[in-house]
Amino acid sequence: MTIDTKSLEKILQKARDIVLIGHFNPDGDAVGSVTAAWHFLRAAGKRPRIILPSPYPETLKFLDPDNPQGRIIIAEEHLEEARALVRDADLIVCLDHNRLARTEYLEADILASKAQKVLVDHHLAAETFRFDVAFSTVDVSSTCELLFWILLSLPEVDGDTARIPLPCAESLYVGMMTDTNNFFNSVYPDTFTMASLLIARGVDKDAMQEKVLNCYSESRTRLMGHMIQDKMTLLPQYGAAYMLLSNLEKDEYDYRPGDSEGFVNLPLAIGSVQVSALFTDNVDGKYVRVSLRSKGRIDVNRFARRFFAGGGHRNAAGGRLYMPLEEVPAYFEHALASWPEEEKFS
């Protein structure tokens, strides 16, 4: 895949202080894309900084650049520092989110900043009009894959992956690996090309898997068992299943950010389940986080937009509900019952 990067090249030439911003509740693709961009820009002589709105999973800590200037700044914990960086940047790059609102605390600051703004994202209906340059397509596995093809198209790389620093290549691989659920979904022919090129570049695929997928705590694996055994409800009339995760249970199982990553996929292993939902109390208890997954042509992106104030992709979407967790099952059933037939499939 080649990408026209001319307008980006012009912006990059002039920029020195570059702020890379991921989304709230960062996943592997968010952390992978901001750290990959950091390593690339740093090697290119720029002064990049990374901001994530909220803490990210501990299993991804190894991607955090081991450098005081690379340290990821969590806006939730260091809001003034994050705001100052956004204000003083020459260039802001938003990665892996389609709406500035997904930066949670920083939307107004980003809009007010005089910095040039670039978007790199793979979600539907991105706010491209808010950016000077926007790379936005849904025909890639992940933001990391899109970023990989952008980097490869830049003249200083010119298709030669040897010119991509190894830590950058590792971050790109991890973002693609996590967003595809380790090549389980959202994989395109180019995704395998990317994986092949990155492995040839020196990325240790097995080591990445080991660090990201096999380094959870005991309590996380026990929580997973508890969710399947005690918290999963099937609604056969809708081919649906859902699980509820309360803040009380999070305490009981010593929950860390990212621990419920992948839980929403578990019910899909059941042949009759076509749609799966995970409802999680947010840390502050102010709302319920909604994760949705589906099989085949069932479109949970449109489902999330209509009923859960969110969106995403056809088979993976999310949103929020402002109601107590115990009211969610009735709302979910109501949503399934009133989901218009013409919106179910895409």
Minimum separation from the CB atom of position 96 to Mn ion (A): 5
Minimum separation from the CB atom of position 29 to Mn ion (A): 3
Minimum separation from the CB atom of position 235 to Mn ion (A): 28
For residues 27 and 281, which CB has a smaller minimum distance to Mn ion in the complex?
27
For residues 22 and 267, which CB has a smaller minimum distance to Mn ion in the complex?
22
Residue with tokens 């659920």: 181
Minimum separation from the CB atom of position 6 to Mn ion (A): 25
Rounded-to-integer distance, Cα 170 and Cα 167, Å: 5
Rounded-to-integer distance, Cα 303 and Cα 306, Å: 5
Minimum separation from the CB atom of position 95 to Mn ion (A): 9
Give the interface with Mn ion as residue ranges (CB under 5 A): 29, 96, 142-143, 179
Decide if 41 contacts 71 (C-beta within 8 A).
Answer: no
Decide if 90 contacts 14 (C-beta within 8 A).
Answer: yes
Rounded-to-integer distance, Cα 319 and Cα 312, Å: 9
For residues 143 and 260, which CB has a smaller minimum distance to Mn ion in the complex?
143
Minimum separation from the CB atom of position 156 to Mn ion (A): 25
For residues 113 and 191, which CB has a smaller minimum distance to Mn ion in the complex?
191
For residues 113 and 143, which CB has a smaller minimum distance to Mn ion in the complex?
143
Cα dist from 277 to 136, 228, 229, whole Å: 27, 13, 16
Which residue, among 203, 273, 268, has the nearest Cα to 236 in the 3D structure? 273
Rounded-to-integer distance, Cα 12 and Cα 40, Å: 12
Rounded-to-integer distance, Cα 44 and Cα 15, Å: 11
Minimum separation from the CB atom of position 122 to Mn ion (A): 6
Torsion sign across C-alpha atoms 27, 29, 30, 33? positive
Minimum separation from the CB atom of position 98 to Mn ion (A): 10
- Tell me the three state secondary structure of residue 331: helix
Would you list the DSSP string of 260-277?
TTTGGGGGGGSTT--EEE
Helix (H) or strand (E) holding 196: helix 189-201
Angle at 249 between CA 247 and CA 253, to 5 degrees: 120
Determine the residue with CB nearest Mn ion. 29
For residues 29 and 261, which CB has a smaller minimum distance to Mn ion in the complex?
29
Contacts 24+ apart (CB under 8 A), 155-158: 155/9, 156/44
For residues 32 and 239, which CB has a smaller minimum distance to Mn ion in the complex?
32
For residues 29 and 90, which CB has a smaller minimum distance to Mn ion in the complex?
29
